[in-house]
Amino acid sequence: MDLNNTVLTGKKLRGAEKMARIPIKVVPTETTPKKPEWIRTKISQPDEVQIIKDLLRQ
């Protein structure tokens, strides 16, 4: 699909036609970046977490 063409109202675009209209191009990375250290946390009381999970499931 050429970006110079007018888009018909109500016409569904799929696949490559739809992606061609997005102004920002997403380039996939080859490796997954690591999460920063501040986002990783340890569970202080795993027993408490299990109790809460059990309560929510009831």
Contacts for 14 with CB less than 8 Å, ≥ 6 apart: none
* pLDDT for position 4: 52
Helical (H) or strand (E) element with 4: none
**pLDDT, mean of residues 12-33:** 82
Is residue 8 a part of any domain in this protein?
no
**pLDDT, mean of residues 41-58:** 88
Contacts for 25 with CB less than 8 Å, ≥ 6 apart: none
Is residue 1 a part of any domain in this protein?
no
By three-state DSSP, how is residue 52 classified?
helix
Q: Using the 8-state DSSP alphabet, how is residue 2 labeled?
A: -
**pLDDT exceeding 90 applies to what percent of the chain?**
14
Phi, psi at 27, each rounded to 5°: -105, 115
> Which structural domain, as residue segments, surrounds residue 49?
16-57
Is residue 11 a part of any domain in this protein?
no
Q: How many domains does the chain have?
A: 1
* pLDDT for position 8: 66
Average pLDDT over the chain, rounded to an integer: 80
Is residue 3 a part of any domain in this protein?
no
Dihedral, CA of residue 20, residue 21, residue 22 and residue 26, to nearest 10: 0
Is residue 5 a part of any domain in this protein?
no
pTM greater than 0.75: no
Is residue 53 a part of any domain in this protein?
yes
Is residue 44 a part of any domain in this protein?
yes
